[in-house]
Structure formats: structure tokens, C-alpha cells
Amino acid sequence: MDKKSYVAELLADGTTNAGELSRSVRIRFGKGLNLMDARKLVEAHEAGRLSRVWDEIFATEQDETESAKGLRDKKSRGERRRKLNLKGRRGIDRDKIVLREFAPHLVVYRSTEGTLHSQAFDSRKRAEALVRELLELGLEVTHYRRSDTELALAA
């Protein structure tokens, strides 16, 4: 039995608190849960979002790349890392993307898990190819094109 299913089983009765959850996991697997993470899991179970919160807390880079197989080109080493713990207390904060570069084409899409992803391209053809792939998968996709404008300042 893996940790996720064990935690779900413990929380199913509805009487387990964060401290008991952490201790039970430590006894069973040899390493307990962080108390703050255990509290998040208890709250998520009560709200019916245990799986999503578990993935946010414990997802690894390997899990992320397996879920996005074939959707993106290989990135350089520094770009490969992704922030898995999203900041903010509100659900709306999960729908924000960070622009690290200002490429002419930006493709924003929502994965099947519900998280937003973005890809920047210098080539229109590459951006359109990604849009076609994502539409075939049935995902929500938006394609933005940067337009440069000149500013005239009057003194």
C-alpha cells in the first residue's frame, strides 16, 4: 500500500487529526508527514480535494514530466525546474503564470489536472503546432501574439 492510499484510508473515518495522521504515517512508513502538510491534507479531504493537494505537496519533477509527455520540447537545465508549491491562499492564485521572457508567441493551456501552463515561442509555426497538439487532446488553449508599438512622447 502506498502512502497516498494509506492517508486516504486513515482520513476516511473523519476522526483523524493532523497529529495522529503524521504519527500513523511515521509508524507505518518510517517517516512521518510535516504537521503543516498533514493539516493541509486533512482540510483537503474534508473539501474533497485530497488528490489535488497531495500532488501539489508531493509531486516530483519526474511526475510533472510524465504527465506532460510529448507536449513540450526539451528545456535547458535551468528552465526544467518548476515551482510545485504554488504561492497564495486563494484558488485564483493558482491560475497565474509567470512570464520569464517576452517572446513573440505565447501559448497558455490548462492541463487535465486543472493547472495552468505556458510556453513561449519565437516561431509562429512551433506555437501553432503546440496549439494543434493540445486541441487534439481536448485541452483549453489560448495563443497570444506580441505586437510591438512605438510610443511618441510629447515634451
Residue-level pLDDT at 94: 61
Where do the structural domains in the chain lie, given as residue ranges? Answer: 3-58, 65-145
Burial of 77 (0-12, 13-18, 19+ CB in 10 A): exposed
In what helix (H) or strand (E) does residue 17 lie, and over which residues does it extend? none
Say which range, 5-9, 54-58, 76-80, has the weakest mean pLDDT.
76-80
d(CA 18, CA 34): 9
Residue-level pLDDT at 72: 53
Q: Higher confidence at residue 101 or residue 45?
A: 45
Is the pLDDT reported for residue 127 higher than 80? yes
Q: Higher confidence at residue 104 or residue 96?
A: 104
Residue-level pLDDT at 152: 77
Contact criterion met (CB below 8 Å) for 107 and 146: no
In what helix (H) or strand (E) does residue 96 lie, and over which residues does it extend? none
Residue-level pLDDT at 125: 92
Residue-level pLDDT at 78: 53
Residue-level pLDDT at 155: 63
Residue-level pLDDT at 129: 92
Selection from 85, 5, 21, 25 nearest residue 53 by Cα: 85
Q: Higher confidence at residue 34 or residue 69?
A: 34
Residue-level pLDDT at 61: 52
pLDDT digits (tens, 9 = 90+) for 63-101: 555 555 555 556 555 555 455 544 555 555 566 776 666
Name the DSSP class of 134. Answer: H
Is the pLDDT reported for residue 11 higher than 60? yes
pTM for the model = 0.39
